[in-house]
């Protein structure tokens, strides 16, 4: 395609500098259109990466942003490559690159409902509330404990030390409930770091000695 464009552009120039002028103009055209030549496969790869990143995110708001990014990629695919087999399969409800378009939209709608007022006004307090609720609703104590400890760490960094300590107590309790030594040590280790960051060095030392 580049040679064709160069030939067309070169025909517009009759001077000896035809080659230089056409090449420069071609470069400017390509620079102005970074998506030129991007295939349906490229867009699907981008969508898949966004979905993977979304499901690795800890907070619902982060998952929502990732899924919405994937949605924009798929909408572009369906718009620019309407006749492509991948587009037809998506519209027929089939999974393409591990993504079902309908399921993606349903997950986005569910996350928006879960976030509620955080969508128009995503304050840190609102997001922390959601993260805490999500962690508390984890059934498996061996997962609930570390999740609560991670949220406690984030809350402590925000400056709310009292709330962070309450969450650490919940995290340690959940870890103990799991009766798994590795989980208990993981939570206590993180709790020790959080207590130290909060300036509670005696508590941090006691947790570290219990490891």
What number of H helices and E strands is found in the chain? Answer: 11, 0
Q: Could you give the CA distance from residue 98 to residue 109 in angstroms, rounded to a whole number?
A: 19
Q: Could you give the CA distance from residue 168 to residue 179 in angstroms, rounded to a whole number?
A: 17
CB of 143 closer than 8 Å to CB of 75: no
The contacts of residue 47 (CB under 8 Å, 6+ apart) are 70, 73, 74, 77, 97, 99
Q: Is 109 exposed, middle or buried (0-12, 13-18, 19+ CB in 10 A)?
A: exposed
| More confident site: 26 or 150 | 150
pLDDT at residue 17, as a whole number: 45
CB of 211 closer than 8 Å to CB of 185: yes
Q: What is the pTM of this model?
A: 0.47
Count of residues making up the chain: 211
pLDDT at residue 109, as a whole number: 86
CATH number of 40-118: 1.20.58
Q: Could you give the CA distance from residue 108 to residue 104 in angstroms, rounded to a whole number?
A: 6
Asked if pLDDT for residue 119 goes beyond 90, the answer is: no
Asked if pLDDT for residue 177 goes beyond 80, the answer is: yes
CB of 90 closer than 8 Å to CB of 71: no
Alpha carbons within 13 angstroms on the beta-carbon side of residue 146 total 12
Q: What is the pLDDT of residues 194-205, one digit of tens each?
A: 888 888 888 888
C-alpha distance across the termini of the chain, in Å:
64
Q: What is the pLDDT of residues 80-104, one digit of tens each?
A: 998 889 999 998 889 888 899 989 9
């Amino acid at each position: 395609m580049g040679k064709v464009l160069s030939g067309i552009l070169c025909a517009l120039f009759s001077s000896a500098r035809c080659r230089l002028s056409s090449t420069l103009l071609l470069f400017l055209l390509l620079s102005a259109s970074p998506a030129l030549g991007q295939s349906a496969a490229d867009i699907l790869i981008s969508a898949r990466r966004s979905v993977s990143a979304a499901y690795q995110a800890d907070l619902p708001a982060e998952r929502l942003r990732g899924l919405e990014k994937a949605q924009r990629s798929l909408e572009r695919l369906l718009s620019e490559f309407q006749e492509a087999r991948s587009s037809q399969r998506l519209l027929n409800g089939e999974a393409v690159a591990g993504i079902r378009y309908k399921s993606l939209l349903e997950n986005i709608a569910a996350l928006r409902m879960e976030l509620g007022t955080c969508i128009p006004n995503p304050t840190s307090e609102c997001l922390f509330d959601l993260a805490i609720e999500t962690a508390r609703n984890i059934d498996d104590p061996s997962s609930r404990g570390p999740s609560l400890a991670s949220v406690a760490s984030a809350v402590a960094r925000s400056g709310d030390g009292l709330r962070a300590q309450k969450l650490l107590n919940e995290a340690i309790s959940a870890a103990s409930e799991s009766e798994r030594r590795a989980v208990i040590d993981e939570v206590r280790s993180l709790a020790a770091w959080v207590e130290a960051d909060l300036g509670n060095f005696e508590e941090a030392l006691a947790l570290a000695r219990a490891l």
